[in-house]
Amino acid sequence: MKFVLASHNKKKIAEMAAILGALGVEVVPLPEDAPEPAEDGATFEENARIKAVSAAGFTGLPAIADDSGLCVDALGGAPGIYSARYCEGADRARNDLLLRNMEDQDDRSCRFVCAIACILPDGETLTVRGECEGELLRESHGAGGFGYDPLFYVPACGCTFGELPPETKNEISHRGRALRKLKEALQGRL
C-alpha cells in the first residue's frame, strides 16, 4: 500500500522511508506545492494528526505524519513541540540556543519524543508514540543525523545520535520505536 509522508524535511523523509520500507509500506514524499498546515496543537499527537489530515486531503492518499522533538527536563520539557521552531535559523542556531539556555543546568536528562498519526484509506486515524531517553551534552559530537542529534547522548550506545550509523539510530530512536508501534497497529488493517 502507498502512503504519502507529510514532510518536506529531506533527512526525515529518508529516515522514515528507510524504516517504513522495511515494514513493507511504499512511501512517497509530500509534493512540494502542498500547503504547510498550522501546527497549532498542544501536543505532539495533535500536531501529527493535523499534518496527516492535511497531507491526505491534498493528495487523496493515505498519509503518515510525525511530530517530534526534544524534551529537556531542566527546561520544563522545552523545546518540546516547538523543537523545529525554537529559534530562527538552521539546526546550528537552535542547538546553540539550547546550549546557552542549559549553561547553568546540572540536570541534563532529556528525551526525544515522536508521535505518528496515520490516516488509513477508510479515514480512520491511528496515533502512536515513541520515546528515547538520553542526556544533553554541553557540546556537539558527530556530523550524522539532523536537528539536535549531535547533542543527544545515548548512554546505552556510548555516543550521540549524531555519531550513530543510520541503521542503529533507526533501531533505537523515538521515530523507530513509534514506527514499530505503527506496524503493530496496522497489522490486519491493510
- Rounded-to-integer distance, Cα 189 and Cα 183, Å: 10
- State the burial class of residue 72 (Cβ atoms within 10 Å of its Cβ: 0-12, 13-18, 19+): buried
Task: Flag whether 122 is marked binding.
Answer: no
Task: Flag whether 49 is marked binding.
Answer: no
DSSP 14: H
Annotated catalytic residue, options 40, 67, 96, 107? 67
What amino acid occupies position 89? G
Task: Flag whether 9 is marked binding.
Answer: yes
Q: Which residue has the cell 508501534?
A: 181
Preceding omega of 35 cis (within 30 degrees of 0): no
Task: Flag whether 174 is marked binding.
Answer: yes
Verify whether residue 66 is a known catalytic residue.
Answer: no
Task: Flag whether 12 is marked binding.
Answer: yes
Task: Flag whether 10 is marked binding.
Answer: yes
Q: How far is CA 57 from CA 10, 22, 60, in A?
A: 21, 26, 6
Task: Flag whether 33 is marked binding.
Answer: no
- Rounded-to-integer distance, Cα 127 and Cα 112, Å: 17
Task: Flag whether 141 is marked binding.
Answer: no
Closest CA to 70 of 162, 3, 164, 165: 162
Task: Flag whether 7 is marked binding.
Answer: yes
Task: Flag whether 181 is marked binding.
Answer: no
- With beta carbons less than 8 A apart as the criterion, state whether 63 and 52 touch: yes
Task: Flag whether 68 is marked binding.
Answer: yes
A 10 A CB-CB count for 8 gives: 13
Binding-site residue ranges: 7-12, 67-68, 146-149, 169, 174-175
Binding-site positions for substrate:
7-12, 68, 146-149, 169, 174-175
Residue positions annotated with a catalytic role? 67
Binding residues for Mg(2+): 67
